[in-house]
Amino acid sequence: MRVCSLHSRLGFLTVGLTVLSALTNAAPIEDSCGDKPEYDIVKDVAIIGGGATGTLAGVRLREDYKKSVVIIEREERLGGHVNTYFVPGANIPIDYGVIAYNNLSSTFDFFNRFNVSLQSAPTPPWVTKYIDFTSGKSIQPAVSDPAAALGAYAQLLQKYPYLVGGYGQLPDPVPEELAQPFSKTIAQYHLEAAIPIMWTFIFAVGDLNKATTLSVIQNFGLIQLKDALSGGLQIPTRLSNSELYQKAAGLLGADVLYKSTVVDSTRGKNGYTTLTVKTPTGKKIIKAKKILITIPPTVQNLKPFDLDNQEKEVFGKLTWSNTYVAIVSNTSIPDGVSLVNALPNSTFNLPQPPFLNTFDFSGVPGKYKTTVVGDKGFSKEDAKKLIKSGLKNVKSNAAVAQTPVIEAFASHDKLQLWPSPEDMKAGFYKKLYALQGLRGTYYTGGAWASDYSSTLWQFTDALLPALVA
């Protein structure tokens, strides 16, 4: 480095705090010798991921906390697991990722900020049929009054009210019944009659003989139970979840780097983090006081983030499932009918991973929504094959066979992030939460709280004061 360049940087460090604050929001400074700026972007907070939590954090930090931000998003849009298909020629939206939101103030606050109105989610009037997707045969599952079982489940949930806010208040060690397989909890609390209702919320956990009770509670907790029983779930009046994120993107403007990923970093050095980001226009160097990571915190995902041994040990304990969502047509399924995958010889007639969960009629003639659940090694190609084979099986009795078409497809990989029961009981969540703020890094997302947009917005709102302190 030339002497004049060094002097210019040393001089920069002596600028008064007021001027420095202004400079962090301005364009990078070139030194007097005409060198390329050391940093392309300088911000208070860099946010990794522009899904539900990253978008909320970006908006709130910039607009409410008056902090400068940049969001680094790998896709060409904001919204994460929000996926909306627009019917060609009709421009009718069909949401096939995130469908509805919980009746929480965090939901209304964020939607109201962008003047996106909400309404109670209606109960679809479609006919529901239970079909073995491997054979195409109809199944008649046992039907029982779920009232008593749901009451017993509510009593279980009321033992752990703090889970609504995440895992930070879990005792150490974690209560045994939270770490045990949910199949055991079903027997203890006599929850059998409630499983068909619960399955619509918890199917992504997969095998109930392996899924922990904690994982089920965080997919169908007090908030979800209340909304399911009271009709509290909310959807946008204009029936497009993407509207919220389109408006947020318009507000954030150039503070979002789309189709961009972090490829290298130095975290927490001299009170700052430096990120090397691959963008469509080349690499950019970002300097930030803090970073907020909203992507799934697997060791693979966080490889560019200069993890230390403590972080590697904790994040290395997580395993996950992969979920895929799609819109299909030419299904040979009649309009107004939704099919639920049911196996004749399994407990509660539930399918085992990998599986197609449903073919849900979208309300638009000929268009169906479907979800595929698989383990961590289950790829998007595997999912597409399973969709096509499932449709082939369920249409075997159709009067006119059609060739199914996958109109839209999205990957929700690294979902359902959980430690093993043994690690859970060995203090995993205490170790996980100890990472908040370490080396100038904060975290939000499904590993930290119930993986619903509304509850994650609530968790993120509670986290922001510590981040800006």
* pLDDT tens readout for residues 265-278: 999 888 999 999 99
pTM (2 d.p.): 0.91
Residues of the chain with pLDDT > 70, as a percent, come to: 91
Give the rounded distance of the alpha carbon of 3 from its chain centre: 49
Give the mean pLDDT of 226-250. Answer: 98
Instruction: Give the HSE-up count for residue 326: Cα atoms under 13 Å, Cβ half-sphere.
Output: 27
Q: Other C-beta atoms within 10 Å of 127: how many?
A: 11
Provide the pLDDT confidence category of residue 36 given band limits of 50, 70 and 90.
Answer: low
What local confidence, expressed as pLDDT, does residue 445 receive? 98
Cα pseudo-dihedral 466, 100, 72, 256, rounded to 10: -100
Using the predicted structure, report yes or no on whether residue 87 has a pLDDT greater than 70. yes
Using the predicted structure, report yes or no on whether residue 455 has a pLDDT greater than 70. yes
Identical fold for domains 3-80+241-316+421-468 and 122-231+319-418, yes or no, is no
Please say whether the beta carbons of 58 and 69 come within 8 A. Answer: yes
Retrieve residue 94's tokens: 């069909």
Using the predicted structure, report yes or no on whether residue 135 has a pLDDT greater than 50. yes
Retrieve residue 204's tokens: 């992504």
Q: Which amino acid is at 259?
A: K
Give the rounded distance of the alpha carbon of 416 from its chain centre: 9
Using the predicted structure, report yes or no on whether residue 218 has a pLDDT greater than 60. yes
Q: What are phi and psi of 159, to 5 degrees?
A: -75, -20
Q: From 2.40.50.100, 3.30.1330.10, 1.20.1250.30, 1.10.405.20, which CATH number describes the 122-231+319-418 domain?
A: 1.10.405.20
CA–CA dist 367, 330 (Å, integer) = 8
Residues 6+ apart with CB under 8 A from 18: none
The domain limits of the chain are 3-80+241-316+421-468, 122-231+319-418
Using the predicted structure, report yes or no on whether residue 451 has a pLDDT greater than 90. yes
Give the mean pLDDT of 391-400. Answer: 73
Higher pLDDT among residues 64 and 22, named by residue? 64
Please say whether the beta carbons of 417 and 447 come within 8 A. Answer: yes
Buried b (16+ CB within 10 A) or exposed e, 220-230: bbbbbbebbee
End-to-end CA distance of the chain: 35
The per-residue DSSP string of 319-349 comes to: EEEEEEEEEEE---PPTTEEEEE--TTSGGG
Q: Which amino acid is at 355?
A: F
Give the mean pLDDT of 363-389. Answer: 97
Q: Taking all residues of the chain, what is their mean pLDDT, rounded to a whole number?
A: 91
Using the predicted structure, report yes or no on whether residue 1 has a pLDDT greater than 50. no
Using the predicted structure, report yes or no on whether residue 290 has a pLDDT greater than 90. yes
Retrieve residue 254's tokens: 């150039």
Higher pLDDT among residues 11 and 129, named by residue? 129
Superfamily covering domain 3-80+241-316+421-468 = FAD/NAD(P)-binding domain (3.50.50.60)
Identify which of 242, 173, 213, 221 has the alpha carbon closest to the alpha carbon of residue 423. Answer: 173
